[in-house]
A = this chain, B = another copy of it.
Amino acid sequence: MDYVYGPGKNHLFVPGPVNIPDQVIRAMNRNNEDYRSPAIPALTKNLLEDVKKIFKTTTGTPFLFPTTGTGAWESALTNTLSPGDRIVSFLIGQFSLLWIDQQQRLNFNVDVVESEWGRGADLDVLESKIASDRSHSIKAICIVHNETATGVTNNMAKVRQILDEYRHPALFLVDGVSSICALDFRMDEWGVDVALTGSQKALSLPTGIGIVCASPKALEAAKSSRSVRVFFDWADYLKYYKLGTCWPYTPSIHLLYGLRAALDLIFEEGLENVLERHKRLGKATRLAVEAWGLKNCTQKEEWYSDTVTAILVPPHIDSAEVVRRGWKRYNLSLGLGLNKVAGKAFRIGHLGHLNELQLLGCLAGVEMILRDVGYPVELGSGVAAASAYLRNVTPMIPSRI
């Protein structure tokens, strides 16, 4: 069942799927059950309440689609928009590219604002478009909170500020796949209309739930959206929420139990502590990169991502070889550079259920690999820089004091 056995733990540092806590693995270790018994709706209702906390919303309505992030995208778009609708969308890396491709194939009129990969969404362009759109032809702004391919975090508060300044009614749709539950995400405060994430990211579950959260305004828009949809239709869910049975079709029962355990762990740690931990690990990674003398693919500090760091390698090195050697020699899984940065960057995912020593083990591995592929890094230098920082900011584990 394991074609590629290597001794010891696999060091999983792709920016998703991420490490699953043992508690969550245990919770999912079970037989199927009848989802029409009273147990599953009871479980579901609690989950729907609790999942709102990680979006920081009290007014949003969440949907737990048995799908992936790609499906969650489709649900966000087709429920709120109609074919031909003009949307402004930002192309800054592979995942925003894929979302835009989906938007185009769904027949929206996509106004693409492109930035160099490694830069954030160009919000000045957004502002000028919004400012000039007196007729409100722009129906939605679609933006990734965190571009997983380049490690770029966009400024969501700024988007809201622009919309507010010009009193523009465009819907605000956010891909939070590699941000929600790891970066500070404030759905209500930012007036996000649809936010979404996938279970295999910061929630640290297997793939299989696409969580979509809709604002009241988004729910209202859904009533008149003319995009064709059935599987991803919110209306069916809302109908079953009302009936109290919650599910228009069979849910992923295992993932529901897993989500329950995942949320329990997040709340036990404290959501703000989880976010702090991600900041800490992100900063530590960047300090290591700096110590190695390598460049962060992200061009400015304001866009630095606390969930994934894309690292540029010198031109004579193939970044894919870094990833390959990690896997073949050290049982380390790093993220490939994708598309425009293929061969040029590799990525360290530092999101989800992860702690300091896991990261330091990864950094030590990257150092050895860099030497293996001919980059003259000083061994221990990145680990030293990261740990000098970490040892001052890592808190005691509350349950153990």
B-contacting residues of A (Cβ < 8 Å)? 1-12, 14, 16-20, 22-23, 25-39, 42-43, 66-71, 74, 83, 101-102, 105-107, 198, 200, 206-208, 227-233, 248-255, 257, 260-261, 265, 268-269, 274, 277, 327-333, 336, 353-365, 367-368, 371-372, 378-381, 383-385, 387-388, 390-391, 394-397, 399-401
CB-defined contacts of A248 to chain B, threshold 8 Å: 70
Closest chain B residue, CB of each to CB of A99: B230
- Please state the number of chain copies in the assembly: 4
CB-defined contacts of A249 to chain B, threshold 8 Å: 68-70
The smallest beta-carbon distance between A111 and chain B, in angstroms, is: 19
Is B384 a contact of A250 with CB atoms below 8 Å? no
Closest chain B residue, CB of each to CB of A77: B230
Contact of A106 among B26, B30, B69, B228 (CB under 8 A): B228
The complex places the Cα of A286 from the Cα of B231 at a distance, in Å, of 35
The smallest beta-carbon distance between A144 and chain B, in angstroms, is: 15
The smallest beta-carbon distance between A267 and chain B, in angstroms, is: 11
CB-defined contacts of A361 to chain B, threshold 8 Å: 357-362, 364
CB-defined contacts of A359 to chain B, threshold 8 Å: 361
A sample of 30 inter-chain contacts (CB < 8 A) reads A4-B397, A4-B400, A5-B268, A5-B399, A6-B399, A7-B265, A7-B274, A7-B397, A8-B19, A8-B357, A9-B358, A11-B357, A17-B33, A17-B35, A17-B250, A18-B32, A25-B29, A26-B30, A28-B254, A33-B333, A37-B327, A68-B249, A74-B230, A105-B230, A208-B208, A330-B355, A357-B365, A360-B361, A360-B383, A380-B387
Contact of A71 among B107, B231, B269 (CB under 8 A): B231
The complex places the Cα of A368 from the Cα of B333 at a distance, in Å, of 25
The smallest beta-carbon distance between A401 and chain B, in angstroms, is: 6
Is B36 a contact of A14 with CB atoms below 8 Å? yes
Is A20 a contact of B31 with CB atoms below 8 Å? yes
With A43-B3, A254-B206, A365-B356: A397-B331 Cβ-Cβ less than 8 Å: yes
The smallest beta-carbon distance between A90 and chain B, in angstroms, is: 19
Is A250 a contact of B68 with CB atoms below 8 Å? yes
